[in-house]
Copies of this chain bind each other. A is one copy, B any other.
Amino acid sequence: MDTPLSLVLFSGTDDKLQAAAVLTAGAAALGRPVRIFLQYWALDAFRADRIGRDHGLAPEAGAAGAAAIAAAAKAGQASWPETLRQAKELGDVEIRACSLSMDILRLTEQELDPLVDGAEGVTAFLLNAGDGQIVFI
């Protein structure tokens, strides 16, 4: 399958970003191109000065969920930036910031982690997605 898997990342909590990274790594391992479009709080999580920090979890995680995530990290589970870095080395993965979200959050490309390949508008994202899957996370 040459059609890209296109992901719109909206949420900036570590659990959702990890779910997105796992889908990305799986698709890249299958040889599929992956196109990621960063909006709002997901974009904020890719700021160079914040990407390594704790970004919290979805409210429903609760204390037991948070403890399970922390234990998995301690046991060596790769973080989402690490998983994305490996997926980019392994396959055809592009990560773009939504230019409108850049404006709203008043960010410049220099402030983003090098994982991000640049910014683009929503029409460019949709054109690249073609008729392939679009997953909003």
Contacts and interface: CB of A to CB of B under 8 A. Distances in A.
Contacts of A8: 19, 23, 135
A26 B122 contact: yes
A125 interface: yes
A18 B77 CA distance: 31
Interface stretch (A39-47, A89-97, A109-117): A39-47
28 contacts: A10-B15, A10-B137, A12-B60, A13-B60, A19-B39, A19-B136, A22-B98, A22-B122, A26-B121, A26-B122, A26-B125, A29-B123, A32-B126, A40-B61, A40-B65, A41-B58, A41-B60, A41-B65, A44-B65, A65-B105, A69-B104, A77-B103, A129-B133, A131-B132, A133-B134, A134-B135, A135-B136, A136-B137
| Nearest 4 Cβ contacts at the A-B interface | A26-B122, A72-B104, A26-B123, A133-B134
